[in-house]
A and B are shown apart, each in its own frame.
Chain A
Amino acid sequence: MLLLLLTVLIISALLGYWVISKVPSLLHTPLMSGMNALSGVTILGAIAIFALVPREYIVLAGIALVLAMVNVAGGFYVTERMLRMFRKKHPEQLEKE
């Protein structure tokens, strides 16, 4: 299992390097906030903890859930807002403004 995990780690890092280094600096802020949302993936671990801990410690697991969820929701939403501004405007739309 450890071997598998380390393989995934290395392959993801390499593929990630290959894909991410081609993102233009125009989009570096959305890239970062999107990646930020992705680091909230730890919510999957938080769910596992929540399911496994004894009931009296549930609040601790809950804090992890809340923090990770804030990260995921806030990150993706903020990225969505930013990228919407980068859409090309149609000429008619420009005239309206």
Chain B
Amino acid sequence: MIAEIIFGAVIIAGFLVGLRLLQSPRTALWGNRLGACSMVVGIIYALIAFEVAADPVFWLFILFGLALGLLLGGKVKMIQMPQAVALLNGSGGAASAFVAVGTVLLSVETGNWWFFLPAALALAIGTLTFFGSIVAAGKLQNWVAQQPVQLPGHRSILMLLLILGVVLVAFSSTGQGALFGQLWPFTLLVFALYGIFMALRVGGADMPVLISLLNAFSGMAAAVTGLAVQHLILVGAGALVGVAGLILTGIMCRAMNRNLKNVLGGFKAAHVTAGGTDSATAGVSKEVANHSGKSMAEEELLEKPAAEEKVETVFPGLTEKLNREQRPGEETSALALSPTETAAEILGKAEKVIIVPGYGMAVAQAQQQVKELVDYLESQGTETIMAIHPVAGRMPGHMNVLLAEVGIDYDKLWEMEQANQQFPEADAVLVVGACDVVNPAANSAEDTPIYGMPILEVDQASRVIVCNLDDQPGYSGVPNTLYQQEHVVAIWGDAKDNIENLYILLKSAR
């Protein structure tokens, strides 16, 4: 008994030290390996303790799971990481539910409420995690509509299911397990529905919150399973995962200016229309923005072919452009230059450039082009850093992974707080596929859902180049006031092509 406790403590300590190593990118790899080793040691101990190592059927299941896991883990692309994590969360949650129910139903244990209550909770949370994760992964993979799905009476349905679920869990834990045996299919059904309905109403950009929350749930499921089967390591490790998930959920909510209730409640849509109709000022400003947006779009339509032509003809005849630039008096003729040319000029002169990548960059698959641009700027002696908003991407820290994938050094990836101190000193900021997180309206427009949201203050820089798909509002639905500012140059269209053009122009100009 004592030996078992000490063993459990050592394994949990192994997980903790692994986590400690995850605090720095230099040691993180070993942190993960230490965690994996601790897990393997724990599994080997369990094999010996329960004498299953000689059973070929056991190995069949284990090896099948191992192969499936490695296949999934090896195949997934970095941009698909959120759905991969969601799926893995789901499988962990489902496994916990299986273990808890299996303990009660199959191994014929007798116990009192503090055995059946955790078991019922494990079933509930595990089921919820599994079905919620499946929907979340489906949304991220575009199998299910990304938009928040709002059924009539959605909130009441959720409320009803939750109350029903709590009642079922409470009853399951009484009656020496007899009730558990009868009620568990209903508990399963209710929490499966709850998981589905909860995840359905969460929209695309709110995914980081949902994924973090499901992560926390999978940990909690493991922890309560541990309470039910009285397993030290399950409780300890489950608690760690639960806490990690909750911390990340909190960070994500704060960074998006949402509270958990709003995200899970799908209140976003209501909020935006309220901003448009209830408050006259917000309505007016929105209308104005829409008008300018329209005219901008029209201009874009007119200008686009012309701009493209210009870019193409510019490559051979670039000397001509250089001459033009050198001629005094012509410098102010920025109007004559296409946005891409203006941008290239700004970047060429800049000594300090900050790049702000958003999920749009990842959608356009423009990471490689951005990396080329960064390398080029660096080679020219231009100080270049990337400013990463906490919610850039579809899960916490997602953008960092996408940039690390193309080989951008992590020293260049700056967090929001540090980056915000740098913007006033920057000669140029290049926004690629980011909208809400750079919208100055978050600081000023009180009636909008993004008011008070921490943003990257790109408008503080001398010049700003925006490389977005179009001038439409981002996920929040709030028009971006940045686009109308005078020191901003916008290049609309596919970020991949535009960054490439920018790079070519810049390169040939020197």
- Residues of A near any B CB (own CB < 8 A): 1-2, 4-6, 8-10, 12-13, 15-17, 19-54, 57-58, 60-89, 94, 97
Contacts and interface: CB of A to CB of B under 8 A. Distances in A.
Given A27-B28, A31-B244, A39 B221 contact: yes
B260 interface: no
Interface size on B, as a range, is: 35 or more
Contacts of B212: 32
Q: Which of A35, A51, A52 has the most CB of B within 10 A?
A: A35
A61 B16 contact: no
Contact of A72 (B28, B69, B223, B245): B69
A89 B28 CA distance: 15
Given A29-B398, A67-B91, A41 B248 contact: no
Interface string B59-72: 01110111011101
B19 interface: yes
A90 to B, nearest CB: 11
B189 to A, nearest CB: 18
Interface stretch (B40-48, B427-435, B492-500, B501-509): B40-48
Nearest to A33: B85
Q: Which of A22, A27, A74 has the most CB of B within 10 A?
A: A74
Contacts of B248: 28, 31-32
Nearest to A52: B107
Contacts of B334: none
A65 B58 contact: yes
Interface string B174-194: 000000000000000000000
Contact of B95 (A9, A37, A68): A68
A48 B31 CA distance: 27
A91 to B, nearest CB: 11
Nearest to B45: A44
Contacts of B26: 88
Nearest to A19: B19
Given A48-B229, A64-B98, A76 B39 contact: yes
A16 B244 contact: yes
Nearest to B236: A12
B89 interface: yes
Contacts of B234: 41-42, 44-45
A83 B26 CA distance: 9
Contact of A32 (B52, B85, B230, B237): B85
A76 to B, nearest CB: 4
12 contacts: A9-B227, A12-B243, A23-B23, A28-B395, A35-B219, A36-B88, A45-B226, A48-B99, A65-B62, A71-B69, A77-B70, A88-B26
B218 interface: yes
A71 B95 contact: yes
B88 A74 contact: yes
Contact of B211 (A32, A64, A69): A32
Given A61-B106, A85-B401, A73 B73 contact: yes
A16 B243 contact: yes
B231 A67 contact: no
A25 B415 contact: yes
A13 B393 CA distance: 28
B70 A74 contact: yes
B92 A32 contact: no
A40 B62 contact: no
The 10 closest A-B pairs by CB, nearest first: A69-B65, A73-B69, A28-B397, A77-B73, A51-B50, A64-B98, A74-B69, A28-B396, A68-B95, A67-B95
A26 B403 CA distance: 11
A5 B43 CA distance: 20
Given A28-B397, A35-B244, A46-B95, A76 B35 contact: yes
A26 B197 CA distance: 32
Interface string B219-257: 101110111011111111111111111011001000000
A26 to B, nearest CB: 5
Given A12-B235, A49-B102, A61-B102, A35 B245 contact: yes
B215 A80 contact: no
Given A28-B251, A49-B229, A85-B405, 16 more contacts: A16-B243, A20-B19, A24-B24, A29-B81, A31-B397, A36-B89, A36-B215, A39-B93, A51-B51, A53-B106, A53-B107, A66-B64, A73-B65, A78-B85, A82-B78, A89-B407
